[in-house]
Amino acid sequence: MFNHFRSQIPSLELVPSSGGVFEVSVNGHKIYSKKETGEFPEHELIISELEKLKA
């Protein structure tokens, strides 16, 4: 994912959590939550959701 958007990411923050929580947010907008879906996402899904934000 980082390689795909390398030139477009001015900053990146990783926030530690517990209990298997994995969420991806962009500018405060949550685009994926493992806690809500119960599944770890394929990287293609995250890239697709990020591409939608660019449109």
Task: Give residue 9's pLDDT.
Answer: 86
Residues 47 and 1: beta-carbon distance below 8 Å: yes
Which residues span the domain enclosing 11? 2-54
| Domain tally, the chain | 1
Task: Give residue 1's pLDDT.
Answer: 78
DSSP 31: E
* CATH number for position 23: 3.40.30.10
Task: Give residue 8's pLDDT.
Answer: 86
Task: Give residue 3's pLDDT.
Answer: 86
Task: Give residue 27's pLDDT.
Answer: 87
Mean pLDDT per 10-residue segment, the chain (55 residues): 85 88 90 93 92 83
Residue 49, Cβ density class (10 Å: 0-12 exposed, 13-18 middle, ≥19 buried): middle
Residues 20 and 28: beta-carbon distance below 8 Å: no
